[in-house]
């Protein structure tokens, strides 16, 4: 008799749980009719570049002539940032609202003067500088300034994802000066726990092949900027779609 009661209790409890599982979590039928319950919101809302899955994002570019697509036939149509914007919109149906604070012929110092203008609502910051700095700073000096720039950006836009771009190679028999800058960008970005985009690595080493992608031996042409934007696009999509 005692065992029979236990089975009866288990059966009743199972039926109750089964009936509850059929209820729409947003609607509960009460004595006064249908009651709308509060929908549970995402406890970890997307931020930074990942927000592009759901809405448009604001982004800042800091840098030099390559950051403003000098060498493209029309930077406002063929620039790497334009290509990137169009590709990401096609992928996610949301827009990147660029604020390009870069300027031709500048150094990391110029980025330091523009970084304080970054809004705290910024979602993405791309740093594209270093090619000119090789002629003015040692790798150690550049590293200190670059690290300072990243710290400043983090203070101004704490929710933004930061990407550090190593610019393309140039037609030259000696790239040793830029090697030190490239290494500095890699090391500083790692130490600061920000993202690293080695655009330099995707360009060919053969000087003739490289020259075909550059307008003047230094600045990419339309094809070169397309190559650059494709590389950045692939890395951003990977980060956007990752579960981290």
Nearest to 60 by CA among 132, 116, 104, 143: 116
pLDDT for 173-188, tens place per residue? 888 889 999 999 999 9
For the segment 79-93, the average pLDDT, to the nearest whole number, is: 98
DSSP letter for each residue of 35-101: EEPPPPPPSS---GGGGGGTS-EEEEEEESTTTTTBTBS-HHHHSHHHHHHHHHHHHHS--EEEEE-
Q: What is the pTM of this model?
A: 0.81
**pLDDT at residue 174, as a whole number:** 83
What is the tens place of the pLDDT at every residue in 38-81? Answer: 333 333 456 899 999 999 999 999 999 999 999 999 999 999 99
**31-35, 103-107, 116-120, range with the lowest pLDDT:** 31-35
pLDDT band at residue 244 under the 50/70/90 scheme: low
Higher local confidence (pLDDT), 23 or 4:
4
Angle between helices 176-191 and 139-156 (to 10 degrees): 40
Mean pLDDT of 111-137: 98
The residues, ordered by sequence, that sit 6+ positions from 215 with a Cβ below 8 Å of its Cβ are 71, 72, 221, 224
Instruction: Give the containing element (helix H, strand E) for 28.
Output: strand 27-30
Residue 169: is its pLDDT beyond 70?
Answer: yes
| Host H or E run for residue 168 | none
- CB distance 52 to 240 below 8 Å: yes
Q: How confident is the model at residue 151 (pLDDT cuts 50, 70, 90)?
A: very high
Report how far residue 187's alpha carbon sits from residue 85's, in angstroms, rounded to the nearest whole number: 28
The pLDDT score that the predictor gives to residue 22 is 36
- For residues 226-239, give the mean pLDDT: 97
Model confidence at 215: pLDDT above 90:
yes
The mean of the pLDDT values for the chain is 86
Distance CA 98, CA 79 (A): 12
Residue 26, pLDDT above cutoff 80 = no
pLDDT of residue 173: 81
Confidence label for 142 from pLDDT (cuts 50, 70 and 90): very high
Return the CA Rg of the chain.
26
pLDDT by residue (tens digit) across 98-108? 999 999 999 99
Residue 21 token pair = 């599982």
Name the residue with higher pLDDT: 22 or 163.
Answer: 163
Q: Three-state DSSP class for 48?
A: helix
């Amino acid at each position: 008799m005692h065992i029979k009661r236990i089975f009866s209790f288990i059966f009743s409890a199972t039926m109750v749980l089964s009936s509850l599982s059929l209820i729409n979590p947003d609607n509960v039928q009460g004595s006064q009719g249908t009651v709308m319950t509060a929908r549970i919101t995402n406890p970890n809302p997307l931020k930074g570049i990942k927000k592009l899955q759901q809405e448009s994002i604001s982004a800042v570019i800091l840098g030099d002539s390559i950051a403003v697509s000098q060498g493209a036939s029309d930077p406002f149509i063929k620039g790497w940032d334009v290509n990137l914007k169009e590709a990401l919109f096609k992928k996610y149906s949301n827009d990147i609202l660029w604020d390009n604070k870069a300027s031709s012929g500048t150094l990391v110092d110029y980025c330091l003067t523009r970084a304080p203008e970054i809004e705290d609502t910024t979602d993405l910051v791309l740093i594209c500088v270093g090619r000119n700095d090789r002629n003015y700073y040692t790798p150690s000096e550049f590293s200190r300034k670059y690290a300072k720039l990243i710290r400043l950006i983090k203070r101004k836009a704490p929710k933004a994802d930061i990407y550090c771009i190593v610019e393309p190679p140039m037609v030259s028999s000696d790239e040793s000066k830029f090697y030190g800058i490239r290494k500095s960008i890699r090391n500083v970005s790692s130490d600061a726990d920000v993202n690293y985009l080695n655009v330099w690595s995707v360009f060919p080493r053969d000087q003739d092949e490289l020259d075909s992608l550059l307008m003047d031996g230094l600045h990419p042409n339309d094809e070169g900027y397309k190559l650059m934007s494709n590389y950045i696009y692939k890395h951003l999509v990977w980060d956007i779609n990752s579960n981290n």
